[in-house]
Amino acid sequence: MNKLLLVSLATLLASGCASVSMLPQEAAAVDFTAPEGKTGWSKYEHVERFVGYKPAQLYEAAKVGLGSAGFSLRKADITKGIVVGEHGMTAHDWNVIAGVYFKEVDGTPTVKIIVEGSKDIGFSGDVTSDGWTGKILKGMREHLNATYQAVLKVDKADLK
């Protein structure tokens, strides 16, 4: 009886864990016009436009943004417009995963971030958000500004 209870509990906990397979596997499968904010039990979405940047630049920035927010890289494919990271356990979740998707929308390079937390039932309810989408976007912006503003300064210096 105890073994059955233990196996049942382990199965229940494992089924609530967030995994990379829960996220879309390419940008073509993502709706960049869908509602933003909290869109599920522990799911958060955010879209942002990055005027003037190329897909390769967004790809590199997505990896840096995930890393700066504490996520480990789990999957990255520039041809599919996807970078996925896993955060692991937090004070409120067994696991948190984030997907950064990028493609041109109406001629403008656009990024959509989808964050999923574990679907466990905690005493504090769903507090997955923790600003993950904002933290990832902040890391991306800082990387793009630092990298490409430095290039602009060097180019201007060459003109003198």
Could you tell me the residue ranges of all domains in the chain? 2-159
How do residues 99-112 score in pLDDT, each as one tens digit? Answer: 999 999 999 999 99
Question: What does the DSSP 8-state code read for residue 120?
Answer: -
**pLDDT attached to residue 2:** 60
Q: What is the DSSP string of 57-74?
A: HHHHHHHHHHHHTTPEEE
The CATH H-level superfamily of 2-159 is: Kinase associated domain 1, KA1 (3.30.310.80)
Question: Does residue 60 register a pLDDT over 70?
Answer: yes
Question: Is residue 38 very low, low, confident or very high in pLDDT (cuts 50, 70, 90)?
Answer: confident
Residue pair 68/139 in contact (Cβ under 8 Å)? The answer is yes
CB atoms within 10 A of CB 58: 24
Residue 107, token pair as written in the block: 């001629």
Q: Which residues, including other chains, have CB under 8 Å from residue 29's CB and lie 6 or more apart?
A: none
- Cα–Cα distance for residue pair 158/148, rounded to 1 Å: 15
pTM of the predicted model over 0.75: yes
Which range among 68-72, 77-81, 156-160 shows the weakest confidence by mean pLDDT? 156-160
86 by Cβ neighbours in 10 Å (0-12 / 13-18 / 19+) ranks as middle
